[in-house]
Chains A and B, each alone.
Chain A
Amino acid sequence: MSADLLQFLVAGVTVGACYGLVGVGFSIIYNASQVINFAQGEFVMIAGLGTTSLLAAGMPYAVAIALGVLITVLVGVALEALAIAPARQSSVVTLIIITVGASIFLRGAAELVWGRNFRSLPPFSGAEPIALGGAVIQPQSLWVLGGTAISVVLLSLFFAATRSGKAMLATACNPNVALLLGIDTRAVLRLSFAIAALLGGIAGVLIAPISLTYTDVGVMLGLKGFCAAILGGLGNPFGAVVGGLIVGVTEALTAGYLSSAYKDAVAFVMILVVLIVMPRGLFGAKAGERV
């Protein structure tokens, strides 16, 4: 394998893992409510910028990261409580438009707090690149991959082994039956926003040392995460991770071998092809399985 190719793959997998985490958030909220939360990318932005401020305020790095992610979760819960819950009788399309509005609001609010400057976080551990078969890997890339892997494993344990996880699955499968079983589906929606914000926040702090962070960073990351969720099959959280890796790698290869001008177009061309050729994505539920 050529060193170039390896380098592109490393870059693609790293950024793809973040798309994947964002995409999982889309899928989880979609499962609980059929809503596409277009404020998903803003979770990434808030965690990144929040952590830069906490770090600047003199907190130890690990504490700043934890608090940055925690603030993001609180924003996610507040978004559900203040913008989605009051309108829950409305149609899904209305709720989706509300999330678009929330996304614009959050970016505006962030600009008031942090201005329009680019900021960066230091790498979690050292900046000394690791050589691997002619390519170099930033240590932060390993943090991104490790953090994503741990998040995905914990999430699958949550779904497989906890009562709340099963309640979320039941709600995704059939919300009316979930109510008849005594499941508080509104609490499930609240929890889904918290988890989506948590995953977006984790992606935000993992990627900030590599890609810089600024108030509009969530726009592209959010859309790429959406592509990842669609490609993996909307409603299948683990499909979104695979979708994210595919989007990330394809993007990196396009930027490397064609031109970086096409980089952002790749994801959207992929989404069009997926929607036309296999609208349920790679791992989407078969039509018959939804009751």
Chain B
Amino acid sequence: MWSPPTSAREAAIAEPLLNVAELSSGYGPVRALWDVSVRIEEGELVTLVGGNGAGKTTLLRTLSGLLPASAGTIRFAGEDITRLPAHLRARRGIVQVPEGRQVLAPMTVEDNLRLGGYARPQGEIGAALAEMYALFNDLRLRRRDIAGHLSGGQQQMLAIARGLMARPRVLLLDEPSMGLSPILVDEVFATVERLRASGTTIFLVEQNAYRALSIADRGYVLEAGRIILEGPAASLMVNDRVKEAYLGL
């Protein structure tokens, strides 16, 4: 049934889902990000590429609240969350899948997944689990195993599935292909594309710039803590500077 949108709704639609403006952050006195502005619309797959030490993980940690912002604002779904504690951001749907997988190694695969749904009504966990097992068959087969005993690729899938259990409004993926064999890298990117096709909003941070840009809608290039380029992924792929620095062309 059609109903006219309210003005609050219109305002929310006008503003991107995640709106980061002139954000600065760092570690104590050491500044690692300068005036970073990023916006992500609902349903978009946006990628952030950059070399080692460019500040990619720092940006994600600041977005998820593990690091405090020293200046600038983060707005999410029309609300200023710059000072919101990390666990409350997770509960609002900003879900970070951290670099290096970081599964809860001594716990079982299923416990990891259940904890992924920690912030959800507990009645929904069973259905969400079934959904994850349908999506990731390896995890279903190993659901009673200790997460630390899984292979690197399986741990990455577990980390992503654990993130999905929270029913993210935006999924922040930090270097999901890092340290994986080429076949598993293919599998990870196929998974990201599948999630995007199902409507999940994704912010993908990658060193593998070529792969990331080939599946993304838009991209940002981060260098030494500053955004130096942004635009549609297809145009970044043919940008001379990007080609030289990140695509090895």
Contact = CB atoms under 8 A, between A and B. Distances in A.
Nearest to B61: A176
Nearest to B105: A289
Interface stretch (B94-102, B181-189, B234-242): B94-102
A106 to B, nearest CB: 30
B87 A179 contact: yes
Interface stretch (A35-43, A162-170, A213-221): A162-170
Contacts of B85: 179, 184
B102 to A, nearest CB: 5
B104 A173 contact: yes
Interface stretch (B5-13, B45-53, B108-116, B215-223): B108-116
Interface string B163-179: 00010000000000000
A178 B115 CA distance: 9
B153 interface: no
Interface residues of B, number: 27
B119 to A, nearest CB: 3
12 contacts: A167-B118, A173-B104, A173-B105, A179-B65, A179-B85, A180-B90, A181-B87, A181-B115, A181-B116, A181-B118, A182-B118, A183-B115
Interface in B23-68: 64-66
Given A176-B66, A182-B88, 17 more contacts: A166-B115, A167-B115, A167-B118, A169-B104, A169-B107, A170-B118, A179-B86, A180-B66, A180-B98, A181-B119, A182-B87, A183-B87, A183-B115, A184-B85, A288-B148, A289-B106, A289-B148
A112 interface: no
A177 interface: yes
A1 interface: no
A258 to B, nearest CB: 40
Interface of A: 163, 166-167, 169-170, 173-174, 176-185, 285, 288-289, 291
A29 B232 CA distance: 50
B205 to A, nearest CB: 14
Contacts of B3: none
B122 interface: yes
Across the A-B interface, the 10 shortest Cβ-Cβ residue pairs = A182-B119, A182-B90, A179-B86, A182-B91, A173-B104, A184-B87, A181-B118, A180-B96, A182-B87, A179-B87
